[in-house]
Structure 1
């Protein structure tokens, strides 16, 4: 069982097509990288996303903020750490941290809201999701802690 503050991390390799004329990852791709990491975190910790939707729950992005620190480049391995900063009644906040080796590339905050897929109205977080994510809750919202699930490129 993971300890409090553990951080799920997904690794991906920067593809040439993701870089801009300046030779670094185009800024818009970081939210895509985040989405890939969230999908992998969900698969590893919660299970099949489609089953959750079939069970009457979906997750939407309500707010996203990314702060760019440095540029990741073609063929570098980018680690996306996913500290869970907050679990509310109907929402959760993840503060992703993007790193290449020891270099901080970007960080941010993404707020998700659980909804009913049919009505699109807010819905309380499923108890089984809360119980799985609670051990990953990191009140400081920093990427300190061990990687609990890294995927290979």
Structure 2
């Protein structure tokens, strides 16, 4: 298995619903924070990607809720990369509290030109930077189907 990037967040009171658990929509926000930190660690700062001529947009997101994280919990967001395609990538985040699975899912991103928003090929340096995070069961472009 490849390396797994992980980012830790503490649940704030305002992120909890009336049942005392993290409101479901916040998991995608948590994911976005973790993706930004993974990108910063592996590739570059968020502004540099636009300057380099590409951007990343979410094409599809799915989250399965297993157990509710609560106020003040430390949530570890693991970010295994499941697929590096020609124009897309898939990350399968896992949200854990003390090793217990709170939620997991799959997020598909598409690389686009920042000006036209047209799909574009994943830059080679980005592919190389993310390759260590690719799960063994994942695919890189040229090893299977998919964009």
* TM-score normalised according to structure 1 size: 0.88
Which structure's residues are more often strand, by fraction? Answer: 2
State the number of aligned residues.
Answer: 138
Shift of 1:139: 3.5
Number of the residue aligned with 2:61: 64
- The whole-number CA distance in structure 2 between the counterparts of 1:97 and 1:42 is 17
Contact 1:86 1:139 in 2 (8 A): no
**Residue 92 of structure 1 pairs with residue 89 of structure 2:** yes
SS state of the match for residue 138, structure 1?
A: strand
Shift of 1:48: 1.4
* TM-score normalised according to structure 2 size: 0.92
Shift of 1:87: 0.1
Output the aligned Cα RMSD. Answer: 0.9
Q: Which runs of 5+ in 2 are unaligned?
A: 139-147
Say which structure, 1 or 2, has more relative contact order (CA 8 Å, 6+ apart): 1
Structure 1 consecutive aligned stretches of length 4 or more whose deviation exceeds 2 Å: none
SS state of the match for residue 128, structure 1?
A: helix
Q: Which runs of 5+ in 1 are unaligned?
A: 142-153
**Residue 73 of structure 1 pairs with residue 63 of structure 2:** no
1:38 to 35, 51, 60: 35
Number of the residue aligned with 1:107: 104
- The whole-number CA distance in structure 1 between the counterparts of 2:7 and 2:99 is 15
Q: 1:101 to 1:140 in 2, by over 3 A?
A: farther
Number of the residue aligned with 1:139: 136
1:129 to 126, 130, 136: 126
